[in-house]
Structure 1
Amino acid sequence: MPTFGLSGTSIPYLKKGDKVAITCPAKKLPIPMTDAITLLTGWGLEVILGETVNASYHQFAGDDAFRAADLQHFIDDDSIKAIICARGGYGTIRMVDMVNFNRLQNSPKWVVGFSDITLLHAHIISNYNLPCIHGQMPLNIPDASSYSLETLRKALFGEAISYRIEPNPLNRRGECQGILIGGNLSLLLAVSGSVSDLDYNGKILFIEDVGEYLYAIDRMLRALKRAGKLKHLAGLIAGGFTDLKDNDIPFGQTLPEIVMDVVAEYDYPVCFDFPAGHISNNCSLILGKTLRLAVETDVVNIDYPNKL
């Protein structure tokens, strides 16, 4: 069974024998794709490696035009049913406008990744109304939890996904339902005001980040707020915010305290500690699909109410 985007466009879920592609739209790879090939072929899939997998140009997996052409090739190849980005890093914003995504309107396919790949997800959701998978990437497979990899398999093959997570004391209770958007907070700011920007109204927003200063997280969230993007959310999910840094003079707030300070005047449910982001247990989420969020005192339940 397919899943449907915001406009009703469907993407077929994978089945055994399908072809999937691995490409690098950003930073170059430090290791071969052996673990990814083993995992994906174990799921019954045929793996096609892009030319960017072995390419190097400064810190990138080939120059901008080369990376764009590799992605374009797989977008235009109707036999490819999913495009799995090998890693993030930095570089997608340099090449995204060289890519013509129009083929996805007639031959939609899954685009998988996180971190820098947030830019691709935002662009595809905002312009083509197609869902994408926020989940583990090939570079991370050696360190990934088996559970997170199983959630990726389920997302790709259309099996039910639901999560039950422990509460955080700063969670804000409530229930909501809405299209899930988001990803890496820094990248959401990077696409703001561009053709890849998202419509936040009525949506459930998921955010995560890595290696940022606490004050920078505060600034990014307040920038989104000033742009009116946080006012009309249906709900907010904060995932992993890892390796956060502070200045010599402490900022004075934790990540949950920063978030709740920024959204204090709103009344939608908020939850922290969802297992997704730059962590080994990076569980899969389908962006661009209706999600149900129930934040209770003793538990947080997250699932997709419509059959996958």
Structure 2
Amino acid sequence: MPVQFPPALQPGQRVAIVSPARKISAAELAPAVATLESWGLEVVLGESIAGDHHQFAGPDDLRRADFQRQLDDPSIRAILCARGGYGTARIVDGLDFTAFAQQPKWVAGFSDITVLNSHLLALGHASIHGVMPVLFHQEGGELALETLRRALFGETFQPIAVPAHPLNRPGTATGALVGGNLSLLQTITGTPSQASFAGRILFLEDLDEYLYHIDRMLLHLHRSGQLAGLAGLVVGHFSQMRDNTIPFGVTAEGIIDRYAQMYDFPVGYGFPIGHEADNLTLVVGQEVTLTVNDAGARLTA
């Protein structure tokens, strides 16, 4: 299925900020709103930004209706997810992408928003895996924010190069990007939100997981056949990993290597993607080339 790309943003257009997962206040978003306005955009805050239902940005029905409203509004040219957390998978099945398919727009976020990134790709639409408004102004995140701006406004993808890593597997592969947060990719396996990995370059990241969870999730992707057809693998941040009293005995990267060794695609470690300030933007569905050699690994488009 060919992937459709939304038109690039233009100054003067309207964008919406919504929260399909964890709650957030308008005050927390004020700096991000100012930044978006400095890019020449008009910002609309969705009803979920004021939502408050336990840890969620309002009940499921409210968050779903808010997202649907932005999907259906032709004046909204991009939907920025305010933050992650947990909750997007609870609302995605109730969303209707009929109007969106007639006039696609950018949907941007990462972490829990992997559900939407994957769901849209399964429907044949590109989206953005990148820094979210609550994190726009992290120290050290200036380049991450700039790469988001570049993606939204249709500017040329800048190659991402990382140093050599002892676990890298050399080779060259070309394919469309798919992936995101490992925990969410496992969660949506076997659902309508699961996008095919076949012939594509998978990128992975995760946060605050036990090492045995990483193994269990990768085992699931392996046993369900999702890793078998990969063109290549890009490994991002695996941040704040946890361990049991009796250690698992292998790092997250070592666990990934165990499963990667079962296949023959190129693998590049250490990419600035995930839950760190240097979370560079990737366009899910964009065709890229992964090159891994003695000098390191590189993504180009």
TM-score by length of structure 2 reads 0.97
Q: Which residue of 1 aligns with 2:12?
A: 17
**1:79 aligns to 2:83 (yes or no):** no
Q: Which shows bigger deviation, 44-53 or 29-38? A: 29-38
Matched residue SS, 1:142:
coil
Alpha carbons 2:3, 2:285 under 8 Å: kept: no
Shift of 1:298: 1.2
Q: Using a 3 Å threshold, how does the CA distance of structure 1 residues 281 and 97 change in structure 2: closer, same or farther?
A: same
Query: Given the alignment of the two structures, is residue 292 of structure 1 paired with residue 289 of structure 2, yes or no?
Result: yes
SS class of match (1:57): coil
- Partner residue of 1:146? 142
Aligned to 2:88: 92
Q: After TM superposition, give the deviation of residue 9 of structure 1 in Å.
A: 3.0
How far apart in 2 are the matches of 1:21 and 1:116?
Answer: 18
Q: Write out aligned runs for 1:1-308 (5 A).
A: 6-7=1-2, 9-29=4-24, 31-127=27-123, 129-143=124-138, 145-161=141-157, 162-304=159-301
State the Cα distance separating 1:8 from its structure 2 match. 5.0
Which whole-Å deviations, capped at 9, do the CAs of 1:40-80 have from their partners, x for residues lacking one? 11111111110111211111111000000000000000111
Q: Distance in 2 between matches of 1:20 and 1:159?
A: 18
The answer to whether the Cα contact below 8 Å between 2:121 and 2:127 also exists between their aligned partners in 1 is yes
Q: Secondary structure at the match of 1:177?
A: strand
Taking every aligned residue pair, what percent have the same amino acid on both sides? 46
Distance 2:4 2:152 in 1: 17
**SS of aligned partner of 1:12:** coil
The two structures, once aligned, show a CA RMSD in angstroms of 1.1
CA distance in 2, matches of 1:156, 1:76: 19
Q: Distance in 1 between matches of 2:99 and 2:117?
A: 16
Measured at CA, do residues 273 and 103 of structure 1 come closer, stay the same or move farther in structure 2, by a change above 3 Å?
same
Write the letter of the residue equivalent to 1:7. P
Distance 1:56 1:272, change over 3 A: same
Whichever residue aligns with residue 77 of structure 2, its letter is K
How much has 1:142 moved relative to structure 2?
A: 2.6
The amino acid across from 1:29 in the alignment is: I
The 8 Å contact of residues 269 and 297 in structure 2, kept in 1 or not, is answered as no
Structure-2 separation of matches of 1:168 and 1:211 = 23
Note if contact 2:18-2:49 (Cα within 8 Å) is conserved in structure 1: yes
Shift of 1:265: 2.3
Q: What is the distance in 1 between the residues matched to 2:4 and 2:113?
A: 21
What's the TM-score, normalizing by structure 1? 0.94
Q: Secondary structure at the match of 1:292?
A: strand
| Alpha-carbon distance between aligned partners in 2 of 1:285 and 1:37, rounded to the nearest angstrom | 22
1:224-255 CA distance string (max 9 Å, x none): 00001111100001111000001111111112
Tell me by how many angstroms 1:7 deviates. 2.0
Rounded Cα–Cα distance in structure 2 between residues aligned with 1:265 and 1:186: 21
Distance 1:8 1:266, change over 3 A: closer
The CA deviation string for residues 161-198 of structure 1, in whole angstroms up to 9 with x for no partner, is 22111121111111000011000000001110011111
| Stretches of structure 2 lacking an aligned partner (at least 5 in a row) | none
